Amino acid sequence: MPVRSKNNFLIFGSPRIEQDEIDEVVASMEAGWLGTGPKVAKFESDFATYLGSGHAAACNSCTAALHLGLVALGLKPGDEVITTPLTFCASVNAIIHAGCTPVLADVDPVSMNIDPESIRAKITKRTKAILPVHFAGRACDMDAIMSIATEHDLKVVEDCAHAIETTYKGQHVGTFGNFGCFSFYVTKNVCTGEGGMVMANSEEDIKHVKILGLHGMSADAWKRFSDDGYKHYQVVEAGFKYNMMDIQAAIGIHQLKRVEEYHVRRRHVWDMYMDAFKALPIGLPAPEEPDTRHALHLFTILIDPDSCGVERDEFLIRMTHENIGVGVHYLSIPEQPYYRERFGWTLEDTPHAVRLGRQTVSLPLSAKLTDQDVLDVIQAVKKSLAIS
Ligand SMILES: *Cc1c(COP(=O)(O)O)cnc(C)c1O
């Protein structure tokens, strides 16, 4: 008998949606304002208020946000951007689509975040930017990264897809670099279905991002030629169609109000896992670094076949047979054929990321989980390790 029945499959990353979101979406539809409007403006200002500094531009995904941030840096073909191999493909694809060359630095095996020493080792004359990812919600070593950036005159675009609640020395991540990019994809800590946000310290930069994200159209550019009547727009560069809809913002406004409440709930789930797993032969997340706050986006365990007696992929199959949804974040980037073929990356270049990618399993960590759901996951983990 599996731990859960098939019709009660525990979906990985299922979002917690409440009545306020539903009512707000319905109100948008009844008002007939579906596209970018007042709710997007409110979501941007609420988000900037939550982070405590910076200017916000909403868009339709974090992938779009990363692309916009990188394009807005004005990098040229052949410019190199250093990022981590333990990330979602979108981080690397955004670099490629901005016309630049991605370069991988290895991760620290304990924090699983990009290792500043490895960044240093990858800097060349062509390096122009660093794209750190606050993996699982754990803050990267921003003092080290920002001082490398200053020393070598590099830009920084932070991938904060996991890191809405993350702080480093009291400051929210996503406000250190030139741009911080957030995701509101269904599985993320605040969700709008699809959605993203670019944060910038400079108001000029965020204006530029907003123009780039909407076809390159500027209303301001025309203003000086017109009185207060009809305003033409001017296309000032070749932009993209990346704007967020009010229907998405309608969800986000209410999700954001509960971001701290949900964090408390995930802390409880996290502590239940840590307590239940401390005597098992699996790898567990390292404690938070001092003076940082973890967003608790992913709870990742490591299945080393030598100590666990089961291969990671077999473990994934067993968990699924127990009707528990699991994730892999991530098979390292050099495992993906496209990048290997295009950039000639080998698995030996970034050994820590490759090993972690082959051992990691993400367990459900949604604020929607009940205590019983968590107990089911724990039981399924023990069963899949043949301990219980
Ligand atoms: C989810 C995710 C993205 C992409 O976010 P979307 O909003 O789905 O485009 C980028 N980077 C990381 C690390 C992610 O987890």
pLDDT in tens, 199-229: 999 999 999 999 999 999 997 655 555 566 7
Is 14 a member of any domain?
no
- Nearest CA residue ID for atom 1, ligand 1: 161
Ligand 1 centroid to Cα of residue 63, in Å, is: 6
Per-residue pLDDT tens digits for 224-245:
555 667 778 899 999 999 999 9
What pLDDT shows up at residue 219? Answer: 73
CATH number of the domain enclosing 59? 3.40.640.10
Per-residue pLDDT tens digits for 243-290:
999 999 999 999 999 999 999 999 999 999 999 999 999 999 999 999
Is 1 a member of any domain?
no
Atom of ligand 1 nearest to the CA of 329: 15
Per-residue pLDDT tens digits for 9-46:
999 999 999 999 999 999 999 999 999 999 999 999 99
Options 39, 155, 188, 210, the catalytic residue: 188
- Whether 286 and 174 share a structural domain: no
Domain closes at, from 212, 237, 257: 257
- Whether 71 and 176 share a structural domain: yes
The residue-averaged pLDDT of 92-110 equals: 98
- Whether 345 and 232 share a structural domain: no
Per-residue pLDDT tens digits for 321-340:
999 999 999 999 999 999 99
Ligand 1 centroid to Cα of residue 358, in Å, is: 20
- Nearest CA residue ID for atom 8, ligand 1: 185
Is 12 a member of any domain?
no
- Whether 206 and 237 share a structural domain: yes
Residues in a beta bridge with 59: 196
Ligand 1 centroid to Cα of residue 189, in Å, is: 12
Is 3 a member of any domain?
no
- Whether 47 and 162 share a structural domain: yes
- Whether 67 and 116 share a structural domain: yes
In angstroms, what CA-CA distances link 370 with 152, 177, 188, 311, 344? 48, 37, 18, 29, 45
- Whether 110 and 124 share a structural domain: yes
Count of domains forming the chain: 2
Domain closes at, from 257, 288, 315: 257
Binding site membership of 61 for ligand 1 (Cβ less than 6 Å): yes
- Whether 288 and 208 share a structural domain: no
- Nearest CA residue ID for atom 6, ligand 1: 62
What pLDDT shows up at residue 230? Answer: 77
- Whether 243 and 288 share a structural domain: no
Domain closes at, from 190, 224, 257: 257
Atom of ligand 1 nearest to the CA of 61: 7
Binding site membership of 189 for ligand 1 (Cβ less than 6 Å): no
Is 188 annotated as catalytic?
A: yes
Mutate which of 86, 88, 255 to test ligand 1's pocket (most atoms within 8 Å of Cβ)?
88
CATH number of the domain enclosing 287? 3.90.1150.10
- Whether 74 and 220 share a structural domain: yes
- Whether 171 and 283 share a structural domain: no
- Whether 164 and 295 share a structural domain: no
Q: Domain of 73?
A: 19-257
Binding site membership of 88 for ligand 1 (Cβ less than 6 Å): yes
d(CA 132, CA 66): 11
